[in-house]
Amino acid sequence: MKKGGKNVKQGYKTEKSVEFIAEKIIENALNLKASDVHIEPREDSTLIRFRIHGSLRDFEKLPKDHAKKLAKHFKSVGGLDFSEKVFAQSMSFKHGNCRIRASISPTFLGEKTTLRLLSAKSRVRSLEEIGLFGDNLRRVRQAIRQPHGIIFTLGKGKNNTNFALLKEIISSEKNIVTVENHIEKSIAEINQTEINQRIGLDYYHATKAALNQNPDVILIDNLQDPKTAELIFDAATRGKLIIASLPISKTSEVIPYLEFLKVPNFLLSTNILLIISQILVRTANENALEFKKINKIESRVILKEFQTDINQLHSLEKSAKKFLGGDKIHTSDSAILEIPQIKPELSEIGFTGITGIFEVLSLIDGKIGKDFKKLIASSPNSSEIEEFLEENNFTTLKIDGLVKSLRGKTSLKEIMRKTGY
């Protein structure tokens, strides 16, 4: 395969067994440090794609019938129902030192198999390592050290954030219980429960059982029903610290979503400590990144696109320098001076990892928190919350990403791509 995944290899010789082909696909994915494998039926072939550093890349093509054969193979490995072709099925299995979560779903052209590759010894990263710094980091640490209340996480990469939060407070004096759809990280110091719909262990019943274990902290990786929401708000009121992930993507959607789950308005402002929203971006190899000088007109265009002003941006970049490294400041008190870009000749190999860009709204820190609590009382919609945040110079995902790009962590183009420009 050409680096970057531009050329698609033709598949293994068809006389090889399906078991052999499955093994080789997984081994190739592990060698390339892929996080996911997609085995997709096409009109005339089976397409194998790997997700590497957050981006899907074509790896190879196999004969058309291999999508069906591989789906059947993984069903066999996981003890799934061969005859089920209408509803999605999922399971986990081990491959050497790697744990793999497989999902098999029907599509118009046949069954698609998706494999998530999970390290058997997944290291829990710190808050700094996932991309938090400065005031955002301070606000997160302030919230996670509260004895009770609720921290909500949302967006891509929230599972890493959840465990980075737990890492901050793991101790022999705390009983920490998690309720997870799939256990991706096995942590010795905490008590983890996996949802099992087949036996009726859904989020509500698993959370109810967790509360009977006399926990100090509960993590729920997907809050999506009114009964479980009622449980966690009641638990927070009774002195528990809750970390809960929501199946939404914007900070401005949290309050409307919780009201949709029938959480009484007064419980929102009294129990929510913090909202962390995030997306994942690719990090650049420092040798592949270069800074291009821009003029003041170009600077004004970028500031307008990112809905910030030079005073806020310059202050944030100076603050970020001691956390994110680098020598040169790429803004002045009047304009952006330079923007980062991947060198054209290294465009295919310029990215080497993944980090998060964040927005952190604290309800227990400063004037914005107090004012937001007052706003909650009026049951604001998403647009009203976005207007409130803009008026209060809130550091959005876009601004956090712009700062990280100026500190040489990624390219400006990558930030624009991931934030919707």
Residue ranges matching CATH 3.40.50.300 in the chain: 134-281+354-418
pLDDT at 195: 87
Neighbours of 370 (CB within 10 A): 13
Q: What's the predicted TM-score (pTM) here?
A: 0.83
Distance from C-alpha of 167 to C-alpha of 147, rounded to nearest angstrom: 16
**Which two structure tokens, joined as six digits, stand for 325?**
């490294």
Task: Residue 271: name the closest of 321, 235, 315, 224 by CA.
Answer: 235
Q: Give the CATH superfamily of 134-281+354-418.
A: P-loop containing nucleotide triphosphate hydrolases (3.40.50.300)
Could you list the beta-strand ranges (E) of 130-285. 149-155, 176-180, 191-194, 217-220, 241-245, 272-284
CATH 3.30.450.90 in the chain is located at 9-119
Residues of the chain with pLDDT under 50: 1-7, 10-14
Supply the pLDDT for residue 1. Answer: 40
CATH domain 9-119 topology: Beta-Lactamase (3.30.450)
**Which residue type occupies 215?**
P
pLDDT for the residue numbered 121 = 53
In this prediction, residue 345 carries a pLDDT of 87
Q: What is the pLDDT of residue 182?
A: 84
Cβ(356)–Cβ(280) below 8 Å: yes
User: For residue 328, what pLDDT is reported?
Assistant: 82
How far is the C-alpha of 241 from the C-alpha of 229, rounded, in Å?
A: 14
